[in-house]
Amino acid sequence: MKSFNKLKKKPTDAITTKMLNSVFKISFPYLLCFLWSSSINAQEISFLFMGDIMGHGPQIKSAWQENKKQYEYSEVFNPLDDIISSVDFAIGNLEVTLAGKPFKGYPQFSSPDELAVACKNSGMDVLVTANNHSCDRKNKGVIRTLDVLDSLNILHTGTFKDVKNREKDNLLVLSKDGIRIGLLNYTYGTNGLPFSDPVYVNLVDSVLIKKDVTNAKNKDLDKLVVFVHWGYEYRDFPNSYQKKYNRFFQDLGVDIVIGSHPHVIQPMEYSKKNNQEFLTVFSLGNFVSNQRAERKDGGAMLRLSFKKTDNNLLISRKEYIPVWVHKFIEKEKYHFQILPCARPIYNEKYFSNKEDFQKMKTFLDNTRAHLNTNNLAIEEGVPYGLVKFKPITVLQSQGPELRSLAIEQIKTKRRKRRRK
């Protein structure tokens, strides 16, 4: 067979070449569009996991708008809007109750409903509710929290009004483009405040978890995520309890484990063997709180993307994004904002108080040193939202039944850059 490159051109070849060039010039843009649209139509799904959403007393006081006579939390999350809204599913740990008045912080939390409204408006899709503060306001607090989330169409799992609801809603299945991701949620305990019938809170129990995971594996899932509240507070590394249950989760076939509770960041690990992936974040730290000491004044978000090839769903992106809680005074009042602190805009000129810049820098430097040294195959990502080319269609196979709830002054705005 002759090589094309070595063929001697004939007079007619010049005409043929011109014709081919013309066809190429005309068709090349369409070829690019075809390749681009093919990449858009690929089976992909993305997630953002966030740590502890706290509601200390100073945060509640800060949210009160005297001129409007209502609470407002939107400024807390505004700096993260582009990051949160750019993923398919954003998931956080709601570590307060929405039990109604009186609103109080530590040790038994009850935040205004407007905190959940702000979470929704920022782009959050799911709030897990099993943690050591689930029962701070007893059964009433558990039930009303779920009612508020349902009224705002925020998906949830971890706590339930009764066993019947648990049987129906325990496994939360998040779907897009034929990809199905399951989510389960557990807590080590509830601060010694027991729940009673009919309410149910998922506790870390090997027998219960094994039964739940076995059931989940029969639901045609591509991946299974467990969000677990565990570990010692304020410790930089996982304890033996966390390591034991992490191995247990892996042996059961869980794919992703996301940890909360220590209120500081703990290492993240990723491994892959024979196309079987396993990823663990032992603790994401605080997403928002009034804790101001070093290491407690921020946390990390985990951004994950999956891509399906040959009926096998694998992680295509895995990265952490540091976030720092900026508490500052403006117009004689404290304000809270969650900053993606690696952005260049948050330099010394941004802060009116230079001490705030130094605190943020210390947090960022310590976070990078900690995770870059102790993480396994998970690196820092860009602190911006990922561009999305396609509207998202969300299919919820076992979503909670929506219920109407009369809440005064509760309104949610349309999601930007998201679903239509």
Among the listed residues 143, 142, 144, the one whose alpha carbon sits nearest the alpha carbon of residue 133: 142
User: Which spans in 174-224 are helix H?
Assistant: 206-217
CB 49 within 8 A of CB 281: yes
Among the listed residues 88, 39, 81, the one whose alpha carbon sits nearest the alpha carbon of residue 391: 88
Looking at residue 307, what is its pLDDT?
Answer: 96
Count the neighbouring beta carbons within 10 Å of the beta carbon of residue 410. 17
Looking at residue 400, what is its pLDDT?
Answer: 39
Q: How far apart are CA 192 and CA 190, in angstroms?
A: 5
Q: Which range is least confidently modeled, 65-74, 175-184, 394-403?
A: 394-403
The answer to whether residue 2 scores a pLDDT higher than 80 is no
Q: How far apart are CA 129 and CA 298, in angstroms?
A: 20
Q: How far apart are CA 384 and CA 164, in angstroms?
A: 41
Looking at residue 387, what is its pLDDT?
Answer: 60
What are 329-365's pLDDT values in tens digits?
998 999 999 999 999 999 999 999 999 999 999 999 9
What are 131-143's pLDDT values in tens digits?
999 999 999 999 9
Looking at residue 311, what is its pLDDT?
Answer: 86
What are 49-91's pLDDT values in tens digits?
999 999 999 999 999 999 999 999 999 999 999 999 999 999 9
What are 6-20's pLDDT values in tens digits?
223 333 344 444 444
State pTM to two decimals: 0.84
Q: Give the distance, in angstroms, between the CA of residue 235 and the centroid of all CA atoms in the same chain.
A: 22
pLDDT classification of 162: cutoffs 50, 70, 90: very high
CB 298 within 8 A of CB 356: no
Among the listed residues 83, 46, 48, the one whose alpha carbon sits nearest the alpha carbon of residue 316: 46
Q: Tell me how far CA of residue 242 lies from CA of 211, 280, 281, 282, 302, in angstroms.
A: 20, 11, 11, 8, 19
Q: Residue 376 carries which DSSP code?
A: B
CB 157 within 8 A of CB 169: yes
Higher per-residue pLDDT: 8 or 122: 122
Q: Give the tokens for residue 131.
A: 């943690």
What are 182-238's pLDDT values in tens digits?
999 999 999 999 999 999 999 999 999 999 999 999 999 999 999 999 999 999 999
Looking at residue 41, what is its pLDDT?
Answer: 54
Cβ neighbourhood burial of 365 (10 Å; 0-12, 13-18, 19+) = exposed
Buried b (16+ CB within 10 A) or exposed e, 96-132: bbbbbeebbbeebbbbbbbbbbbbbbbbbbbbbbbbb
Q: What is the mean pLDDT of the chain?
A: 87
Domain ranges of the chain: 60-396
Looking at residue 294, what is its pLDDT?
Answer: 96
Counting every residue, how long is the chain?
420
The answer to whether residue 389 scores a pLDDT higher than 60 is no
Among the listed residues 54, 145, 152, the one whose alpha carbon sits nearest the alpha carbon of residue 399: 152
CB 120 within 8 A of CB 412: yes
Higher per-residue pLDDT: 32 or 336: 336
Q: Which range is least confidently modeled, 306-310, 339-343, 385-389, 393-397?
A: 393-397
What are 275-287's pLDDT values in tens digits?
899 999 999 999 9
CB 300 within 8 A of CB 210: no
Looking at residue 13, what is its pLDDT?
Answer: 43
Q: Tell me how far CA of residue 174 lies from CA of 25, 117, 178, 335, 399, in angstroms.
A: 43, 21, 10, 34, 9
| SS3 assignment, position 289 | coil
Angular region, 288: left φ>0, alpha ψ -120 to 50, beta rest: beta
pLDDT classification of 292: cutoffs 50, 70, 90: very high
What are 163-176's pLDDT values in tens digits?
999 999 999 999 99
CB 285 within 8 A of CB 50: no
CB 179 within 8 A of CB 45: yes
The answer to whether residue 28 scores a pLDDT higher than 60 is no
Looking at residue 33, what is its pLDDT?
Answer: 40
Q: Which range is least confidently modeled, 154-168, 247-261, 340-354, 381-395?
A: 381-395
Strand partners of residue 48: 90, 303
Q: Are strands 64-65 and 298-309 parallel, antiparallel or unpaired?
A: unpaired
Q: Tell me how far CA of residue 409 lies from CA of 69, 83, 113, 406, in angstroms.
A: 10, 27, 10, 9
Q: How far apart are CA 375 and CA 281, in angstroms?
A: 9
CB 174 within 8 A of CB 216: no
CATH 3.90.1150.10 fits 60-396, yes or no: no
